[in-house]
Every structure is written in C-alpha cells, then in structure tokens.
C-alpha cells in the first residue's frame, strides 16, 4: 500500500523491485490477499503485469483491452483485405501477361524448378567454395529464364540450354551431393568431386555468356540509337563543347 502512493493501479514489476521478490511471487501473493479479502475490489490483469485496487480501475482496464482487441481485429481485417487484393492483382497481371506459347511456358516452369533444385543442393552441400559457385549458378540461371519470359522470341536460343545443359548440370550436382554424403573419402570420390567443382566454373562462364548473347539485339539497338542521336546533335550544332 505504501508503494502505491494512493494510486489505484501499480505495476507488479515495481512491487518486485521494491521487495526483492520475483514478479511471479508477487502476483501469487496478491492473489492470496485478494482471496482473503485484504483488497475487496483488487484485480490482476490477464498477463499478471498490473495490480488494480478497485473495480473502477479494472473496468477501465477491460475497456482499454476491448478497444485494443477491436483495433487489432480491424487491423487484421485490413491486412487480410490488402493481401487478398494483392493476390488478385498478381493473378490478374499473370492472366494478362501469360500469353506465352505452351511450349515456352512449360520450359520456363521447368526452368524455375531447376533453379529451386540448385538452391536445395546448395543448402545440402556444406563446402564454401562449391557454395559460392552454386550461388553464381542459381543467379545466372534465374536471370536467363527471367529474360526469356519477358522476351519469348529468344526461346529458340536457349532450347539446348533447357534440354541438355541444365539437366546435365543438375545430374552432376546430384552426383556431387551423393559423393559428399559418404563419410569415406577415397581417391575416386575426391577426384570426382574435384572435377565437378572445376567444371562448375566452366558451366557458370558458359551460362553467363549465354545470358550476354540474349542481350545482343538490345545492345545493338542501343548502339544504333546512340549513333543516330549523336549524328542529329552534330547536325543541329549541339554536340560542340562549351555550348551555351
């Protein structure tokens, strides 16, 4: 009572600090006091963090809790509505966007699965060096399929990539994962793992070159636009230095 200083509510942790007892002990002790009538209108909140001396304070607490619950429910409803709206918008965009031919869509979907398999293999193989190479492989593979999805006319240029190069790469990763799983480190296993690790550099370079080749037409268009722009600026006398 002395600690409360004529207040109608008090934090149990402050009782704990003043008495040197744990908050759990204080809450239990207060409940005993309430039960035997020492605080006829005493209440403790649900989380056992606050002691309220009278019914008025407790009613205010209940109203506050109810208001908080209502606001939380409203916020959850708004968040749910926003999530549903975003999902519908994504679905609408996909429906509008997905004008790809079935063969191309099938290849891209399979390509996404390959990217996930590369990520899964990376998470299961502990070596740092091979992990860096697989990070690089996952990134360039994903970018290739992203570009072809936006530029389906480029699909013929990656058919061999999707039908042979990528499946063979996954086959090598599966073999590496199996070699790494065995506790025995014989010469054959070590040699095979080293060959796969070295080959990953070649594969990454080849896939990056493929991605670069996909941008060839775009790069040529940019060069053409720059040439035309520079020519027109020169004709207008706007390409000279110190122009005002």
Q: What is the pLDDT of residues 9-51, one digit of tens each?
A: 889 999 999 999 999 999 999 999 999 999 999 999 888 899 9
Q: Cβ(230)–Cβ(222) under 8 Å?
A: no
Q: Domain segments of the chain: what residues? A: 9-61, 101-233
Q: Identify the residue with better confidence: 37 or 217.
A: 37
DSSP state of 38: S
CA 114 to CA 134: how far, in whole Å? 12
Which of 53-67, 196-210, 217-231 has the largest mean confidence? Answer: 196-210
- DSSP string covering 110-144, please? HHHHHHHHHHHHHHH---HHHHHHHHHHHHHHHHH
CATH class of 101-233: mainly alpha
**Residue range 121-136: mean pLDDT, rounded:** 88
Q: How far is CA 10 from CA 26, 36, 42, 126, 145, in A?
A: 12, 20, 11, 54, 62
| Mean of pLDDT over the chain | 86
CA 25 to CA 52: how far, in whole Å? 17
Q: Which of 74, 165, 182, 161 is nearest to 192 (CA)?
A: 182
Please tell me the least confidently modeled range out of 37-41, 91-95, 125-129, 227-231: 91-95
- Can you tell me whether residue 174 is helix, strand or coil? helix
71-103 pLDDT, tens digit per residue, is 888 888 888 888 888 888 776 665 545 577 888
| pLDDT for 244 beyond 50 | no
CA 144 to CA 204: how far, in whole Å? 12
**Residue range 200-220: mean pLDDT, rounded:** 87
Task: Output the pLDDT for position 15.
Answer: 92
Query: How many Å separate Cα 167 from the centre of its chain?
Result: 26
Q: Which of 56, 200, 58, 231 is nearest to 131 (CA)?
A: 200
């Amino acid at each position: 009572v002395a600690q409360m200083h004529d207040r109608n509510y008090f934090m149990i942790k402050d009782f704990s600090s003043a008495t040197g007892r744990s908050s759990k002990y204080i809450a239990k002790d207060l409940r005993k006091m309430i039960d035997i009538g020492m605080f006829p209108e005493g209440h403790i909140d649900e989380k056992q963090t606050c002691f309220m001396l009278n019914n008025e304070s407790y009613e205010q607490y209940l109203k506050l809790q109810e208001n908080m619950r209502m606001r939380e429910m409203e916020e959850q409803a708004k968040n749910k509505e926003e999530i549903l709206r975003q999902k519908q918008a994504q679905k609408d965009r996909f429906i509008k966007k997905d004008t790809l031919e079935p063969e191309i869509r099938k290849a891209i979907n399979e390509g996404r699965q390959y990217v996930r398999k590369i990520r899964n293999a990376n998470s299961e193989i502990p070596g740092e060096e091979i992990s860096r190479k697989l990070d690089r492989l996952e990134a360039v593979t994903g970018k290739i399929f992203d570009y072809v999805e936006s530029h389906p006319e480029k699909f013929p240029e990656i058919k061999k990539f999707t039908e042979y190069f990528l499946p063979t790469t996954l086959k090598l990763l599966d073999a590496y994962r199996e070699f790494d799983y065995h506790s025995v480190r014989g010469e054959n296993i070590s040699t095979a793992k080293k060959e796969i690790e070295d080959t990953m550099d070649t594969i990454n370079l080849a896939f990056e070159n493929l991605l670069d080749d996909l941008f060839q037409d775009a790069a040529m268009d940019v060069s053409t636009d720059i040439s035309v722009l520079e020519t027109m600026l020169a004709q207008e006398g706007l390409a000279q230095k110190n122009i005002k």
